[in-house]
Amino acid sequence: MKTEHASVCPLDCPDTCSLTVTVEDTRIVGIRGSRANPFTDGVLCAKVPRAFPEFVHGERRLRTPLKRVGAKGEDRFARISWDEALDTIYTRVSAIIAEHGPQAVMPLNYAGPHGLLAGGSMDLRFFHRMGATLLDRGPLCGGIRTEAWLGTFGTAAGIRPEQIAQARLVVAWGNNVTWSNLHITPLIQRVRRAGGKLVVVDPRRIKIAEQADLHLPLRPGTDVVLGWALAAELERRGALDRAFIERWVAGFDEYMALARPWTLARAAPSGTPRCRRRRSASATGSSATRTAAAASARSSRCRRWPGSSGWPAAASSTAPATYFPRRRSGCSGPTWCRPAPARSTSSMPARTSTIRAWRRR
């Protein structure tokens, strides 16, 4: 008998796709997207329905803890019970703490599923309670793009992805949208159906570039030069919103001091023809595109081209006065005007029940 169950994708991805899972005789026989999450709206990446039944039921899945019984590298393991595994962990870690102190223990962990309950919550509480070494987790995944974003915009949050549909111009800058931001693709298509424009900045002719009104295939690592040249050209054309800049933009004069020397002609070594750079500046600064959105390398799964550090992608979007995001009701500034509240792991209540052995202490 087949039954259907509501679920959510467990992959390390902030989209948290809602799923409908079909089960027959305790085995997964089908997975499809559901509309419970309005952002994912029933759309899944191909690997989930194709690979997850085998991932759950395949012969190579580990179903019990394994303990190494030979030398490292011999690939010799024996199955043990969960009680034995937890007791082994408790005994070994407790001995290390007794001899060297709790900071001798360092967790190697990251976000996992990005839901509110599963996204780095219980593990952080547990290791904080233990007093373990704090791991700089950023470089494990999205740390580079986070530093680029914070260095450019501070703690201001970006616009909600759904607001892309309100734009008249979308710039996909260093973002392989159909692979790394799958659920933004329908929003971009909605913009284009409404008469909006799409500009893609990427060395490769990625899939989304086939739909673009303009593709700028710059050389890898030179996008910061293109960003400077566009900012300087927009200023020369009087296309910057000075009132917006005065109220919301910090460091504008310092940034423009770096940008102004980069004319469109000087930026030619970036590999983008001058005529295309001029078209890009025209599209960005046109009065017809006063509502714009930039989808840069700050993606849900940040896949960049070789040589891109994330800083150029963020620097490129520092022509922020040419972006006119819709304003939130009751907020006098743009949708990202209010800094997101900082979260301190040290203030999180400790959970000592994560491993039962420590609970006994």
pLDDT at 332 over 60: no
pTM of the full structure: 0.67
Rounded Cα gap, residues 361 and 261, in angstroms: 65
Rounded Cα gap, residues 166 and 157, in angstroms: 18
Pick the CATH number of 143-322 from 3.40.30.10, 3.40.640.10, 3.90.1170.50, 3.40.228.10: 3.40.228.10
> CB of 223 within 8 A of CB of 317?
no
Rounded Cα gap, residues 234 and 286, in angstroms: 10
HEC letters along 204-229: CCCHHHHHCCEEECCCCCCHHHHHHH
> CB of 317 within 8 A of CB of 173?
yes
The reply to whether 143-322 shares the fold of 2-57 is no
CB atoms within 10 A of CB 182: 19
pLDDT at 319 over 50: no
**Tokens 């310092």 appear where?**
254
Q: What's the mean pLDDT in 123-127?
A: 86
pLDDT at 88 over 90: yes
Is pLDDT larger for residue 359 or for residue 113? Answer: 113
Q: Are strands 197-201 and 214-216 parallel, antiparallel or unpaired?
A: parallel
Q: What's the mean pLDDT in 290-316?
A: 41
The fold for domain 2-57 equals: Phosphorylase Kinase; domain 1 (3.30.200)
pLDDT of residue 314: 36
For residue 284, name the pLDDT band (cuts at 50, 70, 90): low
CB atoms within 10 A of CB 129: 16
Q: What's the mean pLDDT in 327-339?
A: 31
pLDDT of residue 295: 61
Amino acid letter, 104: A
pLDDT of residue 30: 95
For residue 285, name the pLDDT band (cuts at 50, 70, 90): low
Is pLDDT larger for residue 304 or for residue 51? Answer: 51
For residue 147, name the pLDDT band (cuts at 50, 70, 90): confident
pLDDT per position as a tens digit, 155-180? 877 788 889 999 999 999 989 998 88
Q: What's the mean pLDDT in 238-253?
A: 91
Structure tokens given for 353: 């029940």
Report the phi/psi class of residue 221: left, alpha or beta, with left for phi > 0 and alpha for psi in -120 to 50: left
For residue 293, name the pLDDT band (cuts at 50, 70, 90): low
pLDDT at 237 over 90: yes
For residue 139, name the pLDDT band (cuts at 50, 70, 90): confident
pLDDT of residue 106: 93
pLDDT of residue 58: 92
Is pLDDT larger for residue 229 or for residue 155? Answer: 229
Which range in 103-117, 138-152, 187-201, 263-277 is most confidently predicted, on average pLDDT? 187-201
pLDDT of residue 196: 95
> CB of 264 within 8 A of CB of 233?
yes
Q: Residue ranges of the domains in the chain?
A: 2-57, 66-138+346-360, 143-322
pLDDT at 12 over 70: yes
pLDDT of residue 123: 82
Is pLDDT larger for residue 223 or for residue 311? Answer: 223
Is pLDDT larger for residue 122 or for residue 273? Answer: 122
Q: What is the CA radius of gyration of the chain?
A: 25
pLDDT at 262 over 90: yes
For residue 303, name the pLDDT band (cuts at 50, 70, 90): very low
